[in-house]
Amino acid sequence: MKLLAKMFALVADKFQNRTDKQGLPYILHCIYVMQHCGLTDEVSLCIALGHDLIEDTDVTTDYLQEHFGLEIALGIFALTNVGFDSYDEYIKSVAHSVMVEKLVKIKLADLQHNTQVSRLKGLAKADFDRIEKYHRAYTYLSKL
């Protein structure tokens, strides 16, 4: 599990000063996704743990490929919501990925955690709108 240890170090470094909407260290979200995706192989665990790296930090796909290999880099890239015209388009790309079985499980764990109302400090209309969007994505992906 040498790659997983390296991924933990990278995620801890890149998210060290970030908190989630509840004010908790953001790395706990990454760990939750990894623990609840239902996958146990090292590559999948690395993808799950690092799923937000490209989207939310300065880590690039090239960096991930160089340090973690092509499969992990492509898995994290496929879970990155950048360059899509809409969130629905992004979710459909996850559903049609070549790693669909792994990525859908990881995305479902991410969506499950992101829709836990107890993680929010308060509830505004924007929170309800985001939860509704995530719920639609969860329903769509869970039917695959």
Q: Answer yes or no: are the C-beta atoms of 34 and 112 closer than 8 Å.
A: no
Known catalytic residue at 55: yes
Encoded tokens for 84: 């899509």
Known catalytic residue at 56: yes
* CA gap 116, 65 in Å, rounded: 32
Active-site annotation holder among 13, 20, 41, 56:
56
Q: Which residue has the tokens 């994505």?
A: 137
Q: Which whole-number Å values give the CA distances from 70 to 61, 101, 122, in the listed order?
A: 9, 17, 40
Active-site annotation holder among 55, 66, 101, 132:
55
**Residues forming the active site:** 55-56
